[in-house]
Amino acid sequence: MARGRVPGPTGAVGRPPGPFGPSGAAVSSAESLGLGRSISLISNLGSVRHPAPLLLHSDFLGEQFDYDRIYMDIVRWEGAIPYMYLDTHKPPLVTVGAGNMLPDESAAEALPFNNAATGRPATRTEKVHAFRTVAAMKGSLAAKHYRLSPSIELPEAKVKELAINRIKTEFIPQIKKLYPGFDGFPAPAREAILDIAYNAGVGQPEKVVHGKKHKATGLYSFHRLKTAIDAGDWMGAARASHRSSSRPDRNEWARKLFERAAHLAALRDGPSHNLDFLGAHLKLPVF
């Protein structure tokens, strides 16, 4: 399991968007792939509505992450706890928010905790007391068991800021070491890879130290997944994305993200799709 996380979501789990109808059956319409928006065109027939070309709003070519949505997905699966708690790491680590590990008292002191009872900023003494008290507790308990009285808690905006900053400065740079072409992957595939990394950790590759072999950990341990991704086989990646430590609905969600990437790649690479993907020769339909 990833360092700094409490298993389970805090919100309701719904069916994520993807190329599936209400019954779960695959569908192939552009709308099901998030491509159903339209644009206004002017022809000799007047103003008409026509589906916009794929690349005007596609998941290809370096589309920037929607970090607000990414954060909501993290909260959905990981939870977001405003007070200090112990994660599932062995030994357990003091953590806050959506898996933000606090290595020592100084890290806790640096954060803008508030006293939930008074509403005023928590003092250094309160922060240190909370850190030491939680650190001394038993690990792997439900998060509510770590809430002290009075509780010192982070503002919601700070919890979100910490999570997004961790994605930008920790996870994505480390993922790119394993997948240098990450920025060019379809957005659903990038989101699925990020979810696996956030859940299982980025980890380390297999290595030998002083003659002793150490197995790959985290994202690096998904060998079949890497083979599929390196080949651009997103359906293969979907089949290889299962995590034994993850809940079934989370595994299904990641699988469907990879399947969405496969559908988008098929649209991009199909023989009838002859758009210039750098946009230099992208032309609107003529009526």
pLDDT of residue 65: 78
User: What is the pTM for the complete model shown?
Assistant: 0.70
Tens digit of each residue's pLDDT (9 = 90 or more) over 179-197: 999 999 999 999 999 999 9
Band (pLDDT 50/70/90 cuts) for residue 239 is: very high
Residue 110 counted as domain residue: yes
Residue 3 counted as domain residue: no
Q: Is the pLDDT higher at 242 or at 64?
A: 242
- Quick check: 277 pLDDT over 90? no
Residue 258 counted as domain residue: yes
Residue 4 counted as domain residue: no
CATH, residue 119:
1.10.530.40
Band (pLDDT 50/70/90 cuts) for residue 90 is: confident
The average pLDDT across 9-21 equals: 39
The average pLDDT across 30-55 equals: 38
User: What HEC string does the chain produce?
Assistant: CCCCCCCCCCCCCCCCCCCECCCCCECCCCHHHCCCCEEEEEECCEEEEEECCHHHCCCCCCCCCCHHHHHHHHHHHHCCEEEEEECCCCCCCEEEECCEECCCHHHHHCCCCEECCCCCECCHHHHHHHHHHHHCCCCCCCHHHHCCCCCEECCHHHHHHHHHHHHHHHHHHHHHHHCCCHHHCCHHHHHHHHHHHHHHCCCCCCEEECCEEECCCHHHHCHHHHHHHHCCCHHHHHHCCCCCCCCHHHHHHHHHHHHHHHHHHHHHHCCCCCCCCCCCCCCCCCC
Domain of residue 88: give its range. 31-269
Residue 54 counted as domain residue: yes
Tens digit of each residue's pLDDT (9 = 90 or more) over 131-166: 999 999 999 899 999 999 999 999 999 999 999 999
- Quick check: 42 pLDDT over 90? no
Residue 104 counted as domain residue: yes
Residue 287 counted as domain residue: no
Give the rounded percent of residues in the chain with a pLDDT score beyond 90.
Answer: 60
Residue 23 counted as domain residue: no
pLDDT of residue 58: 42
Q: Is the pLDDT higher at 63 or at 275?
A: 63
Number of structural domains the chain divides into: 1
pLDDT of residue 254: 96
